[in-house]
Structure formats: structure tokens, C-alpha cells
Structure 1
Amino acid sequence: MSMSMILPFVVGAGVLLVVMLGIFGLFKAFYVKVPQGTALIVNDLSATPKVRFTGGLIIPVLYKAELMQISLITLQVDRRGREGLICRDNMRADISVAFYLRVNETQQDVLRVAKAVGAERASDKAAVDELFNAKFSEALKTVGKKFEFTELFEKRQEFRDEIIKIIGNDLNGYVLEDVAIDYLEQTKKSELDPNNIMDSEGIKKITQITATQNVVTNELEQNEKLAITKKNVEAREATLALERQQAEAEARQQREIETIRAREEAETARVREEQRLVAEQARLESDEKIQIREQNVHREVEVAEQNRQRAVAIEEERVVRARELEKVTTDREVQLQAVERDKVVEVGKKDVANITRERIAIDKTVAIEEERIMEVRVVSEAEREKQARVLAAEAAAQEALVHKVKEAEAAETAARHRAVERTTLAQAELEAATREAEAKRVLADGVKAEQAAPGLADVQVREAEAQAIEKQGVAEARVIEAKAAARLVEGTNDARVLAERMAAEAEGTAKQGQANAASVEAVGSAEANVTVKKLTAEAEGLTRKFEAIDSLSVNARSHEEFRMSLETHLQQALASISAGKDVAKENAEVIASALRNANIDLVGGDGGLFEAFSKSLSLGKAVEGLAGKSPIVQDLMSRYLGVTAVEPAPAKLPGHGAGERVAPAIPDAGA
């Protein structure tokens, strides 16, 4: 596309843009904005002007624009003095009323006001006042004549409403917004015209009201004066009485003051003398203390001088001593350095000896461990063989013993059951025979009782009782014999079972003994082999040990001998301690067994306990000796107590000979 084709479009767009900008500029230049409270009246080419309250387009030459203020206007109507407002009661009042007007915000009212007073004078107070003053004054007079003077104060709202009602809404385009009564007072009497009928009526009413009020006021004032005078008299009387009381009180107070003053003066004189005495004593004490202080100061000065001389001498001696000590310290450090040098040399030698001893100890430890390993292997092998043989022998013996015991127990149980069966059968037969005999006896007794005479009844009864007792005894004897026979059979069976069981036990014991002997023999052989091997190993170890000791140096050998000596002493000490422990344990057991059932009463404190124990021990010994030596006491004890007295023998500790320590027998302290 060529430039010649684009150029017309560009030119057209530019012209259009310029035209639009021109139109916008003209619109901005000719458009008039109106502020609030202002109306714009535009006289255009039409017959009726246009009213705008926000703004409008004004074309120069063709249009004419006028601005009118439509905001609120205040008109003041003031009537005072002879021009005051006449009320219904012909009283004249000074009044000032404010009327608040504004142009009604409609096109017709704005044009109406513009035609009446002009757009520029619409907000001019003078022009508006000239326009409405007569109307507002007439309305004020008309409404004021409807109210009395006092009602103007009491019915102010009604008075205001009546004014607005009389004025109405026809104000040539204006609107009455509100009415305010700023000032309302009665017109002064001097400003009224006596020749005016209405003012004369007002003057008369004012005079009448004021005269009445003056009379009332005078009466009130006189009453006030009378009350004041009366009150003053009463107050004076009360004042005189109070003054009299005050004089009496002052006289009494003066007398008391004089008395107190005299007493206080005497007390003051006494205190003054005491204080003078105290002051004199204080002065004397002060002089004494001053003199003592002066003497102390002299003494302190002399003491300080002596201390200074002593301190100087001490410092001199300290300097000399420090010098001597420094010399001694220097010599000592030199000697210590020499000793440290020798010590280092000896430590080096000692380290060499320690290294040698450690090497020998390591070799010895290796040899000991090797011998110990060989010993453990041999002992373990022997122990395994021993355990195997012992377990096999014990198993065989236990098996044979169990067989024998079970057979004996079975035979014993069978014999016991047979004996019980026989005993039960014999008991049943005995009871049956006894009951049959008893039945026959009862039947015979009944027959005899029927046939016998009454005189023999008692004898027969006694004979029957004797026979019954005899038969009962015979039956009991038979029962006892049967029980004895059963017991004999049972004892025989028990003896047979016991014999068989003992035979089985003896046989089992013999077999177990043989097995034990075989196992003991095997164990002994194994232990002998182990002992031989152990002794051989110990001999070889000792041989190697002695060879190692022979190869040691003199210091190492002495060290080894010292160690062996320590081990020997340690074993001896441990053996001695173990033996002492066993002896102490046995002695404790003997004393515990003796004191276990003893009833000992502890009486007294630390010393009383031992004394009571000694006394009870002596008493027990005496009783025991009496029971052992006296035949009469022994006979009485065996007859009544069933106790055979035996002379006590000294108790020996188990495991000790006759020459060892014997624990005394402790009797029962409660016997």
C-alpha cells in the first residue's frame, strides 16, 4: 500500500480530531457551573427564560446569563416604645422578631422574583425589607391584638404559629422558613402616651397591678423587719446569757490557769535545779574524761613510738633472715638438681630391670597357661568317663529296684484286700447269730410272762435280765474273738508282705551295691588316672618352673621367692580364718540349741543382766545336781512326773577332742 493512499485517511483523522478538540474546548469555555445557593437564569432565543440550578451552556451574543442568590435571608422587625406591639389588654410590648426567607427553588418562583425585584436584588436585605416590612408588621400587629401581654410569654409557640398563618405562602416567589422571637418585654411606663386611649388603659393596668404588688411588697417588708427585730432581741438575750457564761468560764479558767501556773513554776524551779545539778555533774565528768583522754593520748604516743622502734628492728631482722634464707634456698636447689640427676639415672636402670622382669613373667605365664590347658583337658576326659559309668550303673540298679518294689506293693495290696473281706464276712455272721438268739429269747420271755403268776413276775424279770446280760457278754466275747482272729490273719498277711518286700529290697540293695561298687571302681580308676596325669603335669611344671627360676637373675629370683612366700602366708592365713570360722559356727550352734527353748527373764541394766544370768545358771546347776544325786527326788520325779533324772554330762563340740574347749550345758531358766 503506497503513501498516497494512506495520506487522505490520515488527514481526515487529523481534521476530525482537531474538530472534536475544538468542540470540547468551546463547550468547556461556554459551559457555566453554578455553586450551591445560586440559580442561573438563561435568556436564550425562546420566549421564556430557562432556570438552571447546577449549570448550563451559555453561547455568547445569543444567550444572556444572570445569577440569583437563593440562599436564606434574615429580616428583623423591631417595634419598641411608642411603636411597640399593642396586646389585647391594651398593654404595649417591646418586641423584636426575626423572619427567615429564601427564594423558592422552582423555575416559576425564581422567574417571579427576578421580575419583581431583579436577579441582583433578590438577595439584597434592603430591597427585601422594603418589599415585606409592611406586610410583616401588619401581621405582627394583627396577631399581637389576639393575645394578652402575659399570654405572649406563656403561649409563645402559638404566637409564632399565628404569625406564620397570617403571613401565608403568597410572598411573590419567596418562602418563609421560620419565625423567631428574639426580644419580648413590657414597654416602659414613661414611654407610653397618656393621651392615647390604649396607652392610658395600659397605664391604668400597670398602675393598678404595680400598686397592688407594692402594698403586698410593703407588707412583706414590714413583716420582715418585725421578724428581724424580734429575732435580734432574742439573739441579744441569748448573747447576754452566753456572755455571762463566758465571763464565769473565763474567771474559772483564769483561776485554774493561775493555779496551774504556780504549780508549773514550782515544778520548773525544781527541774531547773535538777538540770543544773545534772549539768554540773556532766561538766565534772567531762573534765575527768578530758584528763583521762589526754593521759591516754600520751600513753598511745609512747606506745606508738615503742611499736615503731620494734617494727623497725623486726624489719631489719626480717631482711637479714630473708638474705640468709635465699642463700640456703640456693644451696638446696643445687643439691636437689644433683639428686634429680641421680634419680633419673636410677629410674633408667629400674626401667631396664622392669622390662626384664616383665619378659620373664610373660614367659612364665605362657608356660603356666599351657600346663593348665593340658590339665583341664585330662580332667575333663576323666570326668566324662566317670559320669558315663556312674549313670549307667545307677540306671540299671534303679530299674531292678523299681521292679521289686512294685511287685511287693501289689502283693501287699492283694493280701490286705483278702483280710478285709474275711473280716467283713465274719462280722456279718456274728451279727446275724446274735440277732437270732435275741429274737428267740424275747419270744420265750413273752410266753413265760403270759403263763407266770403275778407274784413271780419280779423274779422272772430279774432272771431274764441276768440271762440277757450273760448272753450279751457271751456275744461280746465272740465278737472280740472274731476280731482277734481277723487281726491275727491280717498280721500274718502283713508279716508275709513285709518279709517279701524286705527280701525284694535286700536283693535290690545287693544289686545296687554291686552296681555302686562297679561304678566306684570305675570312678576310682578314672580318678587315679587323673591324679597320675595331674601329678605328672605338676612335676613337669615344677621342673620347668625351677629351670626358669635358675635362669633368672638375682633380683628376679629374690622377687619370685618373695612372691611365693607371700602366697604361702596368704594360704595359711586363709586356712586359719576358715578354721576359726568353723569353730565359731559350731560354738554358735551349740549355744543356740541350748538357748532355743530357754525361758530367760532379763532383769536389770547392763550389770544386772549378767548377774541375773549367773544366778539363774547357778540355780539351774544346783537343781540339776540335787535331782541327779538325791534318790528321793528321783523317785518323786519318776512317780509323779514320769521323768527319769540323769546326771548331766559335759557337752563336747562336735569334731573336737577331749582337750578342746567344752560348752557348758545351760538349764532351762523357767524350770
Structure 2
Amino acid sequence: MYNLPPSLIPVLVGVGLVALLIVGLLALFKAFYIKVPQGTALIVNDMSSTPKVHFTGALVYPVIHLKEFMKISLITLEVDRRAKDGLICRDNMRADITVAFYLRVNETQEDVLKVAKAIGVERASDRAAVNELFNAKFSEALKTVGKQFDFVQLFENRQDFRDRIVEVIGNDLNGYVLEDVAIDYLEQTSKASLDPSNILDAEGIRKITELTAAQNVITNDLERNEELAIKKKNVETREATLALERQQADAEARQKREVETIRAREEAETLKVREEERLKAEQARIQTQQELDIRAENHQREVEVAQQNRQRAVVIEVEKVTRAKDLEVVAREREVELQRIEKEKALEEERKNIASVVRERVAVEKTVAQEEERIKEVREVSEAERLKQVTVLNAQAEAEQELVRQVKQAEADETRSKHKAVEINNLAQAELEAAAKSAEAKKKLAEGIEAERAAPGLADARVREVTAAAKEKEGLAEARVQAERLIAEAKGEQEKGLAQARVIEAQAAAKEKDGLADAKVLEEKLGAQARGEEQLGTAKAKATQDLGMAEAQVLLERLNAEAEGLGKKFGALDALSDNARQHEEFRMQLEKSFEEAMAAIAANKEIAKDQAEVLATALAKAKIEIVGGEGDFFNSFAKSLSVGKAIEGVVGKSPVVQDVLARLLQGRATEAKPAAVGDADAV
């Protein structure tokens, strides 16, 4: 490590201290130096008597300095005077005016301090405070200058009006300076806003009326002259226009007429040529069509003749095939019928065997059913006996219960009567003792009174003694009578209760006997009904069972027979060859045709019957005279009907005949058509 000389250490220390001191001073300067933005003034209250004002920046030390910021930027104040507060001019006319005054604090130390002392730092830039401070002065200056100008001059000499306002306001604004004045709005005050009772307003109203009336007259003259000139010019223009339109219409009509004439002439020539050409074309087309139709009809006639020849040959061959087929069908049906008869014989033998087996099984089932019915009968009889015993026991229990209840009720009534008699006896005895004691008390009372009134009341005492003795005897007699009466009543109640108990006991016994009798009768009745219903139910069940078994057996036999027959039939059909199967199908179709034919015959029979009745009714009322013969006419008529019906039946049932007749009729119609065409050609 590099070692410094000892002499340099104090120097380095001094340099370091100086550098540290410089850095500290710079830090303090940075911390305490306040920069002032544009439009703002810094007021520093130090320890001197006059504050310092700075517009760029200054050092402000805490504790010993107080800093305040004042905005010295531009402030706009407006003075607005309208309606009845409008500005009065020299000619006493009012004007609605709005003037803007632009103020700011003068950027000098004296003016800033003056403003700060006058309204304070914070209110220096407050528009309301500044307006309150200068509004009266600005309004007064505005009124002063306005009175020096006529209303019209205000419009014509706005710059002069503005300069006069600035001149009147002057420069003494308590530290503020007036930068500019602008007239923002200037108009005449409405006549309706003026006060006629005000001298100045009245003069203004008069002047406004004079000026407006004169101007209205001049304006009206000018407007009427303008309308007259315009109307005159319009009439002249319209006349010239109509003349030109008339000339144009004449020329257009003449041209249109000539054009229509030429067009009609050309169209007539064109139509004439077109019709001539169309006539030639139509004649050629008709001639060509006639030739084509003749050739087509000739070709059709040749084709139909060839078809008729072919159909004739086909019908002959079909008849041959049909005859051979019918012969084969008859032979096949004979063989099929013989086989069917053999099958029926075998089926009858099998049915007999099945019937024997079923008959034996029915006999066994009948025996089993009879045994089951006997078991049910024994069970039902036992159940009826048990129900009978239960009913009898229930009736006896109810009768005994009723008897016990009535006996207990009688005993309770007897006990209650005895207790009541004892109660009455005790009451009588108590009343007797009370009467005796009362008499004794009265006697003692009389003796006391007698002793008290020895002399004067002796006679009275004697009388009272006799009276007391009489009352004592009377009380004893009444007590004995009352006791005897109560005892008699108690005995009567006792006898009455005993009698009621005996009556109830007798009633209970009678009810018991009646209940036993009714129970016995009911038992016999229920037993008889049970036995009757048992026998009836047994008979019905047996009959129903036999009927059901018989029906089931018959149904089973029929279904078995049908199933067996169908099985054998389908087996036989499966075993047949293709020819045999076709033969069987043909036989079934013949059977169906036979059934249909029989049904048709039956229907025709009914129809013929109805027709015969109708014909008979018609002929009965008809007047027919037949000359000669002995019934030949009727025979011929009936034969004709028979032949007609036979022909109708053949035609209706034979498709071959129907086909031949249809082709024959179609051929005749075709032959008639070419003949008609040939006649038309000849014509």
C-alpha cells in the first residue's frame, strides 16, 4: 500500500473539509432556494421591516423567513348593464352594454406590496374580490364616458369611447394596472324595458319613436316601390313567356300532326303486307297438314287390321289351352276329393278314441270333486256348530252380566235407604236434645230473673215458670213426634228400596229367560240357514264345476281337433310336390269361386224375385191384346229373358269373352273412323 508523507495529511484533511463544506452549502442552497413560476410573485417576510418581493427565485430559510405566493397574471372583469340599468347616453337613450376590463398586478415591488396590504395575497388573484374592489369605479367611469357620447356615436366611435374609459379610470388602481378594455356587447335597450315615468327614459322613448317612425316611413316607401317594380317586371316577363309558349305549342302540334300522318300511312302499308304473307303461309300449312293426316290415318288402319288378325289367332290358342286346363282340373279335383274322404275317415276314428279317453278322465275328476265337496260340507257344518255355541255363550254371559248389575244396583239402593234412615234418626235425636237443653236454659234464665226480681217480679216469675214448663213439655212432644216421623220415613224408604230391588231382580230373571229363549231360537234359525246355504252352495258349486268341466272338455276337444287337422293339413301341404300344391291351391280357389257363385245365384234369385214382382205389377195394369196362339207369346218372352240372363252371366263371368268383345268393339270404332275421314277427303 502506498504510504503518504505525514506533511500531506493535514492538507488533504483541509481539502476534504473544504469540499464537504462546499457540498453542504450547495445542499442547503438547493433545499432553501425557492423558484418562482411565471405569473407569480414571491413575498418573503424576513427580519427586516419591509418584506422582499422576488419574481424569479430567492433563498428562504425556515423559522426566520415566511414565504407567500401571489398570482400576478391577467384577470378579466366584466361590467354588464342592461334593461333599466343600461348606459344613458348624451341624447338620453339607454344602451345595453357589456365591457371587459383586463387587470393584473403591476410587476414592481411597491405595487405587489401595496396589493398584498390592501386585499391580501390570496385574494389578489380572486376575481370576485377584485370585482368587488373595482366594480364601482369601472361602472362610474363607464357612465361618465357614456354621457359624453350620443347613442349612434357609441357605434361609430368605439375606439374613442374605449380610450375615454381608460383615461377616466387612470393609473391609480392600488397596485393594479389596466392592460386593456374591450366592448363585448353594445345594443339599444328595448323600448319595453324603459320606464315612461323617468324623465330621461321618457325623452329616450320619444326620440326612439321619432327615429323609428321616420325610418319606417322611408322603409315602407322603398318596399312598395320595390314591389311595384318587381310586379311590373313579372308581368312583362309573363307576357313574353306566354307568347313564346304559344309559338312553341303551334310548332309542336304541326310537327306532331305530320308525324302521325306519316306513321299511320306506313303502319297501314306494313299491316297489308303482313296479312298477305300470313295468308300464304296459312294456306301452305293447311295443305301440308291435310296430307299428313291422310297418311297417318292410312297407316293406323293398316296397323289395326294387323292387330285384329293377331288377336283372332291368340284367342283361338287361348281357348284350346283353357279347354285342356279345365279337363286337367276336373281330373285333379276327383283325386283330391277321394283323398279328402280318406282323411275324414281317419279323423273320425281318432276323434272316437279321444272321446273315450276324455270320458274316462271326466269320470275320475267327477269322483274327486264329490270327495272334495264332502270334505267342504263337514268343514262348514263344524264351523256352523262352533258359531252356534259361541252365540249361545255370548247371550248367557250378557244375561248374567245384566242380572249381576241389577242385583248390585238393588243392594246399593238398600244400603242408601238404611243410611238415610239412620241420618234422619240422628237428626231427630239431635233436635230433641237441643229442645231439652233450650228448655233447661230458659228455666235457668227464669230462675235468675226470679232471684233478681225477688219481690216485684214474683208473680211474673211464677207465670214464666209455668210458661217454661209448658214450653218444655211442648218441645219434648214435638221432638218425639219428629223422631217418630223420621223413623217411619226411614222404614218406608227401606221397604221401598227392598221392593224395588226385588222387582229389578225379578225383571233380570225374566230377561235372562227371554234371552235364553231368543238365543235358542236364533241358534236353531242360524243352524237351519247355514245348512240350507251350505246345501245350496254345494249344489251350485257342483253344477258350475260340472258345466265348466264339460265346456272346457268340449273346447279342448274342438281345439285339439282343429290343431291336429291344421297340423296334418300343413304337413300334407308341405309333403306335396309343386304340381300337387298348385292343384290344391286351384281347388281352394274353385271352392271360393263356387261359394261366390252360390252367393251370386242367391242374390240374383232375390233380384229376379223383386223384378218378377215389379213386372207382374206392371203387366197386371197393362192392357195387352194377343191375337192367336195358346201361350206361345209368353213362352217366347220367358225364353228371351232366360237367354238374355245367360248371355249376361257368360259375359260377366268370362274374362276371355269380355276381352274379345272389347277388342271387337274397338276394331269397329277404328274402321268407322277411317271411313269418316275418307268421306271428308272426298268432300
Shorter-chain TM-score bucket reads: 0.3 to 0.5
Higher relative contact order, structure no. (Cα contacts within 8 Å, ≥ 6 residues apart): 2
Task: Report the TM-score, using the length of structure 1 for normalisation.
Answer: 0.39
Task: Report the TM-score, using the length of structure 2 for normalisation.
Answer: 0.38
